[in-house]
A and B are shown apart, each in its own frame.
Chain A
Amino acid sequence: MKVSAIITLKKDVLDPQGKVIHQTLDGMGFKDVNEVRQGKYFEIDVKENDPVKAKNLVEDMCKKLLANLVIENYKIIETQ
């Protein structure tokens, strides 16, 4: 079963890469952008077939490795 997770920076953490992307978009003519925040996306194929158990497993991975909870939040967005 595939589980997808996204990791995003917490609100008050500076995201210099997001800022530069915002500036570049602005330079390209995309003038309607308020802010850009860059994050990470993971698609993890686990051996578990029970959606609840699979989600819990990936949640554990997020807590222990994929996200650093000092600066990042995680969200399981999809199981299929």
Chain B
Amino acid sequence: MSDSETADLETFRAETRAWLEANCPPEMRKPATSDADVFWGGRNAKFSSEPQRIWFERMRDKGWTVPDWPKEYGGGGLSAAEHKVLRAEMGRIGARPPLSSFGIWMLGPALLKYGNEAQKKEHLPNIAAGLIRWCQGYSEPNAGSDLASLQTRAESDGDDFVITGSKIWTSYANYADWIFCLVRTDPAAKKHDGISFILFDMTSKGVTTKPILLISGYSPFCETFFDGVRVPKSHVVGTVNRGWDVAKYLLQHERAMISGMGERGVGRPLGQIAADSVGTDAQGKLDDSMLRGKIASFDVDEAALAACAERAVDLAKAGQAHPAFSSAMKYYGTELNKRRYEILMSAGGVDALEWESERSKQGARPRAWLRTKANSIEGGTTEVMLGIVAKRILDLPGA
């Protein structure tokens, strides 16, 4: 980086810091603690508070819901280095993401790479502005880890495909406006070769959703049924029957997103949370030396993972990243997040067992603990991730 580029970046940092200081409401500078704290956008979106609305609208107006997307698609047009600065400055004050969205994390990158111009123009600005909320139609009852064996059919009928079948584990399908969906367009081809990636409106005739009650008592996932849903062929992203390429590319972004769950630098450190319930000795050390050791080991691994996540981004920018590395991060990040919640449950003791009381915020901690058990399953299980690392990165035989 030249001196003038460095100077420009420092100017950008100073301006960004000042802007965030002036525009990020204080309420938006602490970690989200409940679902209401997260803004997902969409046709039926509601803000849970005025600061949430203000923060979202200010960031949207700068294009900073998607800082590194091109400006023409509603993004901020930031360079990789500027984007890193923005993230660091937001992290510095603990600013929440203004908009959470599968459109941002998953579909957007896939559209930028594989979408045609009309598709980019139609969908990306709506994602950036939080107008359309997306869900992901990937897994099926008989296609989980073995995703490519999916059976939802899309039969050609003039200018349309007619889609019949069912999906499962569709996150927030009951709230979503549109779906990006994998369908089988050539049942005769080998399993990876007859799949297409298609977009359609969830209000289309023939679409129904049914929430699934999970062990956490929540229903973040749905079963989604398609009964002769008619979708124009122009909604296929990329080439018909080459949807697996798009699917895999999107999965890399999904895995990167899920792996991020394991590194939450913001918020109170585990050691302090534990001190509240477990107590400390005269020297201020946790009054449970085994738990203290587990927390410290966790902290070491969490800090190291954060460095690795930072490095993964830097490697990608430098063109040195292995495309399958997101699988490595996904495996480690999700296992680490499960460790975090096992520690939180142990630290909380009896207090972390209440399921319904006001005192426990309706059992927020045990429900969150149970939710994390899905981290190493969704988006590809830990075992699938390790298989991908073995095959694609280590090049082990027969993997």
A binds B: no
